[in-house]
């Protein structure tokens, strides 16, 4: 049968001798490089490649050169597992991923099982952007480390900031109807109640994910409720259209968001003309970062042509190098043992540390608003001429939340 002829053809490409690592350490970057999520996936890849170059110039990981291996997962969890297997066959022992908590959940599960079934070939999973809290709580794993503040931590920082803002009296919650959006609204309610019980939550809305083309009915409801602030976890077109509708309807409210600073967000905000009404919570504000960080970002932008969306990737790679150099090894277990509990100065300044209990990184969080730039501010976003301005800061220690993680250690 013809399957056999095919088999012969396939055979040529299949005699894969597992790549001899030699003096390179491969880091697998598993994120979308085609399809809908590709624009963000490509930015992440550039960031990591830039970081790899920088660290290689400083001696690499324990003397070995870092090589970033891009693996396109098309934002599909099952595809991600196939790519992870390919990475493992290719000698990759460290993988990093961030786009999509669904993928992250699949990967962390797979890594645990792989390490269980292949002792001596353990793989580490470094998560730079998947924010589902479950990954450092119920589904925590020794092999998984997360550098992004999870969505609960972000809400905690945001509500701590709101504690000191007496103007905020009526808050409206609007979120996408899926696990992340639901988690944002439940933590918002719980934390606001705890920190500012006087704030009235005048509305709590969820809408279908990426399906709504016109948010004017929602805006009408927000207006009718008299809210002065809106908290939303919306991203992608959901935040763009939401802000558009708000601008169209002339809604005078402040927007506290998670992802207004994501790719495409600044363009959407500029289009609406809402200067310094849209806030985002992030681990770094380009225009207010330390001297060293600003210089680094300027060089990064000059070379790569995009904003540094992931200061946490800088933290991740620098800590990886420190761990490898200290452990004098590039194997998973020694590196992991050095990583957990590690304290550093975060890229944008301030003390930060990787908590041993659940492998969650705690760092200073900043609330920033987007609008007309202050004189002397260096960085604008996406060619709009507007930039981010620091409004409030929360120290790492003030963002700490308890964890239910019961980690099994090797």
Partner 1 sequence: MLQLIAFSALNGVLYGMLLFMLASGLTLVFSMMGVLNFAHVSFYMLGAYFGFEIERRVGFWLGFFVAPLAVGAIGAAVERFGLRRLHRLGHVSELLFTFGLAFVIEEIVQMIWGKLPVDYRVPPSLDFVAFRLFDTTYPAYRMFMLMTAVAMFAALFVALKRTRVGLVIQAALTHADMVAMLGHDVPRIFTLVFGAGAALAGLAGAIAGPALVTQPSMAALLGPILFVVIVVGGLGSLAGAFVASLVIGLIQTFAVAMNGSLAELFGPVAPPFMGDLWQVTIAELAPIIPYLLLVIVLIVRPTGLMGTRES
Partner 2 sequence: MKRAACFLWPWLALAAVFALAPRVFSSGTALTMMSLMGVMIVFALSYNMLLGQTGLLSFGHAVYYGLGGFVAIHAMNAVIHGKLGVPVAIMPTVGGLAGLAFGVLFGLVSVRRAGLVFSMISLGIGELVSSSSFILRTFFGGEEGITTNRAKLAPLFGLKFGPQIEVYYLIAIWCFLCIAAMYALTRTPFGRICNAVRDNPERVQYIGYSAQGIRLIAFSFAAFFAGIAGALAAINFEIMNAQQLGAQQSAVVLLMTYIGGVGYFAGPILGAVIITFLQINLSDVTNAWQLYFGLMFIGFVSFAPGGVAGWLMRHREAARSGEFRRLAPAYASVAPALAAGLIGAAMLIELANRQLAMARSEGSAMNLFGFAVDASSIAPWALALVLFAGGVAMSWRLWPKVGDAWDSVNAGLRAKGRA
Interacting residue ranges for partner 1, rule: CB under 8 A? 36, 38-39, 177, 205-208, 210-214, 216-221, 223-224, 237, 240-241, 244, 248-250, 263-264, 267-268, 271
What length does the chain have? 410
Rg, C-alpha atoms of the chain: 22
Name the 3-class secondary structure at 279.
Answer: strand
Question: Is residue 6 close enough to count as binding partner 2 by CB under 8 A?
Answer: yes
> Could you give the CA distance from residue 246 to residue 265 in angstroms, rounded to a whole number?
15
Q: Does 298 bind partner 2 (CB under 8 A)?
A: no
By a kind-dependent CB cut-off of 5 to 8 A, residue 226 interacts, out of partner 2, partner 1, none, with: none
| For partner 1, the closer CB: 134 or 212 | 212
Q: Which two tokens stand for residue 141?
A: 């794993």
**At its nearest, how many Å lie between partner 1 and the CB of residue 33?**
11
Q: Is residue 162 within the footprint of partner 2 (CB under 8 A)?
A: no
CA neighbor of 28 nearest in space, from 103, 134, 117, 102:
103
Q: What is the DSSP letter of 315?
A: H
Taking CB under 8 A as the rule, does residue 304 contact partner 2?
A: yes
Can you point out the beta strands (E) in 94-197? 94-97, 124-127, 144-146, 170-176
Of 38, 25, 42, 20, the closest CA to residue 310 belongs to 42
Q: Nearest distance from residue 27's CB to partner 1, in Å?
A: 24
Q: How far apart are CA 396 and CA 399, in angstroms?
A: 5
Question: Shortest Cβ distance from residue 98 to partner 2 (Å)?
Answer: 14
Span from 101-109, 255-263, 319-327, 377-385 in contact with partner 2 (CB under 8 A): 101-109
Rounded to 10 deg, the angle between the 179-195 and 151-163 helix axes is 30
Closest by CA position to 371, among listed 232, 265, 295: 265
* Contact pattern from residue 40 through residue 59 relative to partner 2, giving x for each residue in contact according to CB under 8 A and a dash for the rest: --x---x-------------
- Contact partner at residue 334 from partner 2, partner 1, none, CB < 5 to 8 Å by partner kind: none
Structure tokens at 389: 């301005």
Residues that bind partner 2 (CB under 8 A): 1-4, 6-7, 10-11, 13-14, 16, 18, 33-35, 38, 42, 46, 71-72, 74, 76-78, 81-82, 85-86, 88-89, 100-102, 105-106, 109-110, 113, 116-117, 132, 134, 177-180, 208-209, 211, 304-306
């Amino acid at each position: 049968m013809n399957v056999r002829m095919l088999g012969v053809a396939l055979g040529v490409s299949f005699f894969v001798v597992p790549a001899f690592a030699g003096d390179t350490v491969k880091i697998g970057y598993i994120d979308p490089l085609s399809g809908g999520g590709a624009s963000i996936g490509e930015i992440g890849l550039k960031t990591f490649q830039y970081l790899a170059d920088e660290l290689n110039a400083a001696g690499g990981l324990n003397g070995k050169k870092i090589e970033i291996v891009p693996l396109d997962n098309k934002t599909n969890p099952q595809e991600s597992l196939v790519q992870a297997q390919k990475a493992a066959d290719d000698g990759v022992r460290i993988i990093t991923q961030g786009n999509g908590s669904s993928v992250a959940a699949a990967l962390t599960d797979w890594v645990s099982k792989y390490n269980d079934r292949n002792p001596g070939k353990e793989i580490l999973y470094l998560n730079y952007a998947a924010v589902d809290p479950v990954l450092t709580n119920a589904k925590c794993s020794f092999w998984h480390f997360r550098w992004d503040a999870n969505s609960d931590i972000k809400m905690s920082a945001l509500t701590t900031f709101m504690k000191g803002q007496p103007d905020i009296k009526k808050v409206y919650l609007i979120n996408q109807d899926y696990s992340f959006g639901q988690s944002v609204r439940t933590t918002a309610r719980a934390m606001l109640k705890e920190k500012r019980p006087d704030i009235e939550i005048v509305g709590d809305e969820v809408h279908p994910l990426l399906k709504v083309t016109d948010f004017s009915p929602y805006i009408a409801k927000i207006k009718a409720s008299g809210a002065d602030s809106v908290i939303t976890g919306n991203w992608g077109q959901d935040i763009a259209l939401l802000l558009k509708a708000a601008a169209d309807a002339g809604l005078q409210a402040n927007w506290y968001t998670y992802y207004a600073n994501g790719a495409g967000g600044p363009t959407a905000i500029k289009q609406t003309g809402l200067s310094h009404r849209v806030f985002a919570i992030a681990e770094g504000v380009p225009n207010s970062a330390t001297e060293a960080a600003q210089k680094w970002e300027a060089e990064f932008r000059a070379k790569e042509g995009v904003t540094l969306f992931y200061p946490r990737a800088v933290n991740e790679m620098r800590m990886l190098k420190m761990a490898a150099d200290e452990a004098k090894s590039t194997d998973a277990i020694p590196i992991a043992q050095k990583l957990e509990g590690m304290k550093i100065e975060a890229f944008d300044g301030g003390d930060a540390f990787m908590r041993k209990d659940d492998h969650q990184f705690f760092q200073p969080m900043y609330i920033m608003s987007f609008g007309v730039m202050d004189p002397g501010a260096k960085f604008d976003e996406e060619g709009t001429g507007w930039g981010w301005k620091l409004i409030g800061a929360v120290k790492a220690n003030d963002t700490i939340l308890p964890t239910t993680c019961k980690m099994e250690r090797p």
